[in-house]
Amino acid sequence: MDNIKIGTRASKLAVWQAKQVQTLLQKINISSSIIKIKSRGDKDLSKPVYELGVTGVFTKEIDLALLNNEIDIAVHSLKDVPTKLPLGVIQGAVLQRGSELDVIIPSNTLKSKENTIATGSLRRKAQWLNRFKTDNIVEIRGNVQTRLKKLKENNWNGTIMAKAGLERLEILPEDYQELNWMIPAPAQGAISVQNLTINPSITKMLKQINHVETEICTNIERSFLNKLEGGCTAPIGAYAKIANKSIVFRGVLLSAEGKEKIEINEVEKLENIQGLGERFAKKIISLGGDKILNSLKG
């Protein structure tokens, strides 16, 4: 196959992810080049992601380049990808997942109460405030390096970030703390590769670099998200893993300020995974999730 054009955002982390795909393609004797594309989510750093008003703020421009045949495949952080893909686009592969965890990077000592914590994520904000009711949340946007820089420049007590990105760029500070209690964004830590349905040869090629276990788990998390109508506008967390031939799942839905929370912990046999994410979402709804979702719409 000729030189495959890989489309990606221009941030260091996005390019790192594209290079991972490039390396895997190299192993199956496919040459490729990386095309950097600026996304709307990168251009508008003044607003939190959930206020930008479109799904796929980090993926839209790259998807357009794919649909216009300017690139052959698109590489995204899977947690940024809308649960409904554009018509004609499929997920050709998902790479083996990195850490799914959120971490807090303290800038100075975290106090027993009334900390100021920076995050641009509705999910992180709601879960943090649910646990630490007297803390204050401030908005922060930008790539990984920008957010670490802003943390140093401001009088905040800490910022919450995905561990995977910091590890991939080898800039995870020594004083980080893992937030094992915080349920991650659906598909956090996973890298998605997309292509057009009309290119079966590329679909076949990408199948060779797909990590099946990650694909199964992230599919469950994303169908859970899809059923709860979550995009960037609802505080929803989901994490699935495979253990002892079973799916172990944690899911959460919260109100915007974290006052209300519905969390589930489920174990289901692997052979019963058909429609599993949707079933878990229905359980959240039946436990009062519909009321939270309606309040969020309001």
- Distance from C-alpha of 90 to C-alpha of 86, rounded to nearest angstrom: 8
Which has more pLDDT, 59 or 298? 59
* Helix or strand holding residue 127 (H, E): helix 122-131
- Residue 11 is given by DSSP the state S
- So what's the pLDDT on residue 51? 45
107 pLDDT above the threshold of 80: no
Length of the chain: 298
Q: Which CATH number fits domain 4-97+190-210: 3.30.70.20, 3.40.190.10, 3.30.420.40, 3.30.70.1400?
A: 3.40.190.10
- So what's the pLDDT on residue 50? 43
Q: Specify the pTM.
A: 0.91
Spell out the domain ranges in the chain: 4-97+190-210, 102-178, 224-297
Q: What is the CA radius of gyration of the chain?
A: 19
What are the tens digits of pLDDT across the range 155-174? 999 999 999 999 999 999 99
What are the tens digits of pLDDT across the range 212-255? 999 999 999 999 999 997 544 789 999 999 999 999 999 999 99
Which has more pLDDT, 52 or 87? 87
Which has more pLDDT, 49 or 175? 175
Residues 181, 124: contact at Cβ < 8 Å? no
Among residues 182, 16, 194, the alpha carbon closest in space to that of 89 is found at: 194
- So what's the pLDDT on residue 42? 45
Residues with a known catalytic role: 80
What are the tens digits of pLDDT across the range 22-79? 999 999 999 999 999 976 544 444 444 444 333 556 688 899 899 999 999 999 999 9
Asked whether this chain's domains 4-97+190-210 and 102-178 adopt the same fold, the reply is yes
Please tell us whether the domain made up of 102-178 is placed in CATH 3.40.190.10.
yes
Record: fold of 224-297: Double Stranded RNA Binding Domain (3.30.160)
Task: Supply φ then ψ for residue 208, to 5 degrees.
Answer: -70, -20
Residue 298's pLDDT band (cuts 50, 70, 90): low
Residue 181 tokens read as: 């209690």
